[in-house]
Amino acid sequence: MSLSVSVKNALPFADGSEIMSEIAAAHDTLLSGSGRGNDFLGWVRLPFDYDKEEFKRVKAAAKKIREQSDLLIVIGIGGSYLGARAAIEYISSPNYNMFRKDGTPMIVFAGNSISSDQAQEIIDLTSGMDFSVNVISKSGTTTEPAISFRIFKALCEQRYGAAAKDRIFATTDAARGALKTLADAAGYECFVIPDNVGGRFSVLTPVGLLPIAVAGIDIDSIMQGAADMASKLHVPGEDNPAWQYAAARNALYRKGYTTEIIAAYEPRFRYMGEWWKQLYGESEGKELKGIFPASVDLTADLHSMGQYIQQGLRNIFETVVGFESFRTNVTVPDGDKLDGLDFLVGRPLSEINDMAAKGTALAHVDGGVPNLSVTVEKADAYSFGELVYFFEFACGLSGYTLGVNPFDQPGVEAYKKNMFALIGKPGYEDMRKALLERL
């Protein structure tokens, strides 16, 4: 089965079919490249048009990293981080480092915070382990990864001397930026983030593909899943799953459902939720508009956030990502009768999980929470490609329907300016004075 969407449990609240003509217009705008932000539409045809020679280099670099390292440090933040982590957790395991295949290195993510503790932990981890570094930054000037790269570049040079250059891989702009200049001067192997692909749409470029390939994941299968999904979604029509999803969420938003919670009943989906939050939050949250994207891990969060979802403020709807089949088949064993669970003996956990999901969805609908569902065959490399492309394409449709430019992020600059002023960056002196008066 390919990816499917069900809006049945949202229909009592809002009917997406009423705004299909707007989704159709957004579809035309997106595919004709005639809308706002059209200089960032490189992701639309990426599953077909990606650079095949560079793809081969990604595989070769991944092999080299696997052969020479016990540890890969992936430095990046936001769109230069979340996709790779989401893929490794979703396709391999949230416990990848514990269960990784023979011959694949441990993978840790750095530069996604300015935390000293996080940096020190990774510094400690490198002792006694051969390591490589993949630094990922389109601009090359983002503070968090730039600080982190200083730390791990120095460590790499201390350990390996001149050979450090064979252990540092830079994923950045094709021609511009501080990282590109530095990488060229030092002789690092470079991979390109295309000009017309924004950070949060870049997981199917070397940004995501290199760390994912190092983890031993089949990146051909990811690209195939994305290409098959793109072929499907480029065809206009009310049965287009991206149309259905974009229409339902915009119809709900107009009825006051301003928060969307993405949920899954598999812990491996957790970082897909983080990736999805950035994709939708950064694409839609602007001009004082946009659905607030949140995520929960179920059933775990039914015991923490479940109360709010069931009975809190009624401005939320949920989108549940589910699977048709599973890799494993653990069943409930015979045991102490006192727990009252004898009726479950021999039943698969997947069946019980599915009943928990179905029961919860109906309880939430009864409690006033519209429910959308997105289902894929199973959690693997192919469905990762499908899901990535599905959510990206639906995001483009949804953003245009909302009336914003889904491909910029002007608001991200505000915190950076304040931070630069407060840490004393030259040129920010007046701003620093004004901010200090307010602290």
Q: Catalytic site residues?
A: 282, 303, 416
Among the listed ranges 78-86, 267-275, 315-323, 390-398, the one in contact with ligand PA5 (CB under 6 A) is: 78-86
Tell which one of 16, 42, 47, 79 touches ligand PA5 (CB under 6 A): 79
Scan residues 282-301 and list those touching ligand PA5 (CB under 6 A): 282
Min dist. Cβ of residue 241 to ligand PA5 (A) = 24
For residue 316, count CB atoms less than 10 angstroms from its CB and return exposed for 0-12, middle for 13-18, buried for 19 or more: buried
Q: Is 42 in the site for ligand PA5 (CB under 6 A)?
A: no
Rg (C-alpha) for the chain, rounded Å, is: 23
Measure the CA–CA gap between 394 and 390, rounded to whole angstroms.
6
- What residue has token string 């003509």? 21
Nearer to ligand PA5, 7 or 77 (CB): 77
Q: Is 137 in the site for ligand PA5 (CB under 6 A)?
A: yes
Q: What is the CA 58 to chain-centroid distance, rounded?
A: 20
Min dist. Cβ of residue 276 to ligand PA5 (A) = 13
* CA 37 vs CA 51, 197, 390: distances in Å: 23, 11, 19
Residue-wise over 194-225: b if at least 16 C-beta within 10 A, else e?
bebbbbbbbbbbbbbbbbbbbbbbebebbbbb
Among the listed ranges 25-33, 198-206, 376-384, 425-433, the one in contact with ligand PA5 (CB under 6 A) is: 198-206
Tell which one of 200, 268, 270, 286 touches ligand PA5 (CB under 6 A): 200
Nearer to ligand PA5, 151 or 344 (CB): 151
Measure the CA–CA gap between 439 and 430, rounded to whole angstroms.
15
CB 405 within 8 A of CB 198: no
Q: Is 75 in the site for ligand PA5 (CB under 6 A)?
A: no
Q: Is 180 in the site for ligand PA5 (CB under 6 A)?
A: no
For residue 179, count CB atoms less than 10 angstroms from its CB and return exposed for 0-12, middle for 13-18, buried for 19 or more: buried
Return all residues near 136 (Cβ < 8 A) that are at least 6 apart: 74, 75, 76, 80, 81, 145, 170, 171, 172, 193, 207
Give the x-and-dash track for 344-383 against ligand PA5 (CB under 6 A): ----------------------------------------
Tell which one of 29, 139, 224, 299 touches ligand PA5 (CB under 6 A): 139
Scan residues 399-418 and list those touching ligand PA5 (CB under 6 A): 409
Q: Is 142 in the site for ligand PA5 (CB under 6 A)?
A: yes
Scan residues 312-341 and list those touching ligand PA5 (CB under 6 A): none
Measure the CA–CA gap between 379 and 328, rounded to whole angstroms.
12
Return all residues near 2 (Cβ < 8 A) that are at least 6 apart: 228, 229, 232, 376, 377, 386
Measure the CA–CA gap between 72 and 156, rounded to whole angstroms.
12
Give the x-and-dash track for 204-223 against ligand PA5 (CB under 6 A): --------------------
Among the listed ranges 76-84, 96-104, 184-192, 391-399, the one in contact with ligand PA5 (CB under 6 A) is: 76-84
Residues that bind ligand PA5 (CB under 6 A): 77-80, 137-139, 142, 145, 198-200, 282, 409
